[in-house]
Structure 1
């Protein structure tokens, strides 16, 4: 199911989005402010973000720039200001598409589908097979890890966690996303599991586990693999 994060301050428009998205089997996540949008983008890992440039607490352009520091998730910008300059600012900040208000819901849905298709193709094409760092090497196809020319034995859970992180180099992966993908919905809020397994991975892969070089914690948000 496609997860759409809607960052929009107009409650009536949000309701319209929810009705249309749910009718088409999209999962709709709501953020009424820019701060909520940034938090949910990190925690819930949406497949696409629908972001109004007129958010009540911050400029939508700044929200786009902030998300682009750590994520390539498709962003479709919306704005009541129908100027070419506004469109250029949004696209230059990192938005993938732009629609002025008012708009056709059918066209909006078509653009969302197109954005998620592009991301799926790009992700499959860009995903590395072998990830090499100065400290260790990960072969995603063979499901093997080497450190100092020796094979590192990982449990299935440790491997799954590492696989997700190294498949998104330089990008923040939210705590909730990791918990859902590795442990499932019953453990979606159990950050204790996540901290314990990250500690195990660091002991096996980092030269100094207490000061990690590759498996970085973003406090309160998630983790990032820094190659």
Structure 2
């Protein structure tokens, strides 16, 4: 497995900063590294000061939300999401979505009531440069999320399927007191 393949695999599972340190300095190599998910690309030789500065810059960016969010904590009568800590609670009980499930869920929450197509969800959750193109992957991961957040995953009320197009998050009505207390 080469560095590009490793980067791609890590990116599918996590949003951690990835920096390539390499002797391959051609434009094609740099572009390919960034396209598969690297956050930065440093060509040898480099100074210690440059490396430290780039690592610090990437860590600062990593602390910012991956998907621009208006709120650090999202709460509705069913879900509470602390974006800073990447914690998700359903009806007051913490769940553990995978990084990909988390990105899919936050993409839907960022656009409540709006139908997002399979392609839009692929771009938002996998990234615009991902090699993943299967709408079946979106369906599969939505089913995983439903299993974690819906009272009855076979009769979903929170993530609604819009046949032949995509999905939408239906924000539940009601009091958010239990969500804010969690």
TM-score scaled by length of structure 2: 0.51
Aligned-residue offset at 1:204: 0.3
What is the alpha-carbon distance in structure 1 between the residues aligned to residue 98 and residue 73 of structure 2? 19
What is the alpha-carbon distance in structure 1 between the residues aligned to residue 137 and residue 118 of structure 2? 10
**Matched residue, 1:90:** none
Contact 2:111 2:169 in 1 (8 A): yes
What is the alpha-carbon distance in structure 2 between the residues aligned to residue 216 and residue 128 of structure 1? 23
Q: Does 1:151 align with 2:94?
A: yes
Q: Does 1:213 align with 2:157?
A: yes
Q: Which runs of 5+ in 2 are unaligned?
A: 1-66, 172-182
**Matched residue, 1:140:** 83
What is the alpha-carbon distance in structure 2 between the residues aligned to residue 175 and residue 153 of structure 1? 23
Aligned-residue offset at 1:180: 2.3
Contact 1:135 1:207 in 2 (8 A): no
TM-score scaled by length of structure 1: 0.42
What is the alpha-carbon distance in structure 1 between the residues aligned to residue 71 and residue 165 of structure 2? 25
Alignment of 1:44-193 (within 5 A): 127-184=70-127, 185-188=130-133, 190-193=134-137
Contact 2:122 2:132 in 1 (8 A): yes
**Larger RCO of the pair (alpha carbons < 8 Å, separation 6+):** 2
What is the alpha-carbon distance in structure 2 between the residues aligned to residue 127 and residue 142 of structure 1? 16
**Matched residue, 1:4:** none
Aligned-residue offset at 1:167: 1.1
What is the alpha-carbon distance in structure 2 between the residues aligned to residue 217 and residue 155 of structure 1? 21
Aligned positions, number? 103
Q: Which runs of 5+ in 1 are unaligned?
A: 1-122
What is the alpha-carbon distance in structure 1 between the residues aligned to residue 169 and residue 143 of structure 2? 14
